[in-house]
Amino acid sequence: MNENSDEQTRQKIRDILEGLACMLTAHDSCAELVEYRNKRAVISCGAPCLKCDNRCIEDAIRDQLPNVEVIVQ
């Protein structure tokens, strides 16, 4: 993947997380893209959402970017 494509993917992930912001805020939580490299996105997640087994962050990203591995920490 070239750098331009990587940056487009980073922006898409940021857009997805922004779209989840209302739901995350309602749960007193947040999520931020920490790193994207080699088709792997590392998402920093705060508060209750980190321990939630609903996996809405991972699912939202995989729905639009199925080839991206999502790691929530």
pLDDT digits (tens, 9 = 90+) for 11-58: 999 999 999 999 999 989 999 999 999 999 999 998 787 778 878 999
Name the CATH code of domain 3-72 (choices 3.30.465.10, 3.40.50.1950, 3.30.300.130, 3.40.630.10).
3.30.300.130
pTM of this structure? 0.89
Residue 42 CA to residue 69 CA, distance in Å, equals 9
pLDDT at 1 over 80: no
Q: Name the residue ranges covered by the structural domains of the chain.
A: 3-72
Separation of alpha carbons 5 and 37, rounded Å = 11
Give the chain's largest Cα–Cα span: 37
